[in-house]
Amino acid sequence: MSADPNTRGLIAANWKMHLLRADAERFCQALLAGLPAAGPRVVVFPSFPLIPTVAGALAGSPVGQPVGVGGQDLHPEDKGAHTGDVSGAQLADAGCTWALCGHSERRRDHGEGDELVGSKAAAAVRHGLAPMICVGETRDERRAGRTFEVLERQIRAALAPLAALPAEGRFALAYEPVWAIGTGETATPEIAQEAHRHLRGLLAEIRGEEEAAGLSILYGGSVTADNAAGLSAQPDIDGFLVGGASLDPEKFLSIIRGSF
């Protein structure tokens, strides 16, 4: 697998359903021109039609610090009669090394459950893609004091299918409190650290202390250049899954430069 999610320090751009090819090309040019010589690893998650454009534009990224490309979703089956879906093999063939699994908007808009997320993560690994597994609680779940319960349920379901695969351990996590996504409301560094520390403990229990210590756990939830430094100072926050701020290359570069 060409992506290495098990080195902490990772910042990802999730473009969601934004940008056209010309926009994507300009973004990639600005990103490559502005990347610091030494910094966190970077990956871009464009929508499916933009993947070849982005993969081609980023092919010139530094050898020692290549910018990865990922798909925003994938089907758990390797191929078949699944109109509108994309397989892990197709993502890899298009130049991806990553795949988002279980983003809160997929869970909300398409009814994706925990077991399906796990199946998608396993499909990603089968095709040499590093899954970035997304977890997080809703506002109602947080208010009910169920945050840790929800995170444990999601993590255990997502990781269960990976245990039997030969490439086990090749993944990253993204904690995205649903109440802070696209709302402008960001979890305080202390709130985010509390959730990340709990996730690290769960990973240690499930996968072992050594793997848990080296695995990247990203925060995603209205990340900006203004709050990135405070969040990245927390010991268990290893990077960011950036939404709106990743659509502007200068804003995204500011986050990269200002953290880790």
Catalytic residue set: 103, 176
Task: Tell me the H-state helices in the chain.
Answer: 21-34, 51-57, 88-93, 104-110, 114-126, 139-143, 147-159, 189-207, 209-214, 225-232, 249-257
Beta bridge partners of 218: 174, 239
Q: Which two tokens stand for residue 132?
A: 């970035």
Q: Which residues of 128-165 are buried (b: 16+ CB within 10 A; e: fewer)?
A: bbbbbbbbbbbeebbeeeebeebbbebbebbbbbbeee
What is the C-alpha separation between 251 and 65, in angstroms, rounded? 20
Q: Are the C-beta atoms of 91 and 123 separated by less than 8 Å? A: no
Q: Which two tokens stand for residue 48?
A: 């499916």
Q: How many CB atoms lie within 10 A of CB 2?
A: 12
What is the C-alpha separation between 107 and 67, in angstroms, rounded? 27
Q: Are the C-beta atoms of 186 and 223 separated by less than 8 Å? A: yes
Which is nearest to 243 in space by CA: 228, 227, 224, 229? 224
What is the C-alpha separation between 81 and 97, in angstroms, rounded? 24
